[in-house]
Amino acid sequence: MAKLKSYAKINIGLRILGRRPADAYHLLESILVEISLHDKLNIDLNNKGVCKIKCSDLSIPINEENTIIKAWNRIKPYLPPDLGADIYLEKIIPSGSGMGGGSSNAAAILKYLDPYCIEKAPLSQLALSIGADVPFFLNGGTMLANGIGEILTPYSLDFPPNILLVKAPESISTPWAYKALKIPLTVEIKKAIFAGFPVAWQNRALFENEFEKVIYPAYPQIGKIKEVLLKSGADYASLSGSGSTVFGIFDNRAALKIAEARCSEFGICYTAEPVRRSPSGVV
């Protein structure tokens, strides 16, 4: 049995630059940081030719909507025809949290199955066909994302390793969040600026998440989490993606623990640190 870790991510800054008229996709820039909070995948390969999954969270669909099944179906044409798998997903990354749990699960499956391919699989293309965040999780680490999230550039940002995540009970629809921003279809897009910043944590105030301006008014309790994190000593606090998780980055562990106690009334708290990867991608 293979045992895999499927890591979460946070967004440090997220700007919407425009919306392509051709397909209505939103163009963005964001710094994606892989963090230590993770789901666990247990995989038993067999010769039955099909993939079956079970999940610790009964609210997670285990049919064709599941990103694990999507990843399996995308890579299956490149695998031996009789290769199958029984997969158990221990779900720890909250659903709808803006931390990319489903995307990470899909990438973990693609990476694991790649050595079994009898024909070279275009992993990046397969990943993007599942979701915009999936290509990031093929490599992880810290990346500057552009395009719809698929154009990835390694990014060096030296920040404290103490991360507190607070998942509010509200569930936020990603389509609703994008619609609420009211970004028009246009061939003229805003200038990307994150790549031009000096790579220094001192510039952290410039990394804003544009979804905050529509989500906090609609869900005041989520905005309150950010306020409490900052008042508790966080160096930086932000919404992650368009989900309902707010995270704080702290200079020291003691301040994080104080903030955790204060934020527990607003949702479920998790602690994490960045996943540091070597150039080869090894943790």
CA dist., res. 57 & res. 232, Å (int): 32
pLDDT tens digits, one per residue of 11-38: 999 999 988 877 778 899 999 999 999 9
CA dist., res. 140 & res. 148, Å (int): 17
Mean pLDDT, all residues of the chain: 93
- Helix or strand run (H / E) with residue 228: helix 220-231
Residue 187: name the closest of 6, 77, 1, 22 by CA: 22
- Please report the pLDDT score of residue 185 as a whole number: 67
Q: What is the pTM of this model?
A: 0.93
Residue 237: name the closest of 159, 179, 174, 140 by CA: 159
Contact criterion met (CB below 8 Å) for 271 and 167: no
Contact criterion met (CB below 8 Å) for 129 and 180: no
Domains of the chain: 2-153 (3.30.230.10), 157-272 (3.30.70.890)
Active site residues: 9, 133
Contact criterion met (CB below 8 Å) for 216 and 238: no
CA dist., res. 68 & res. 91, Å (int): 12
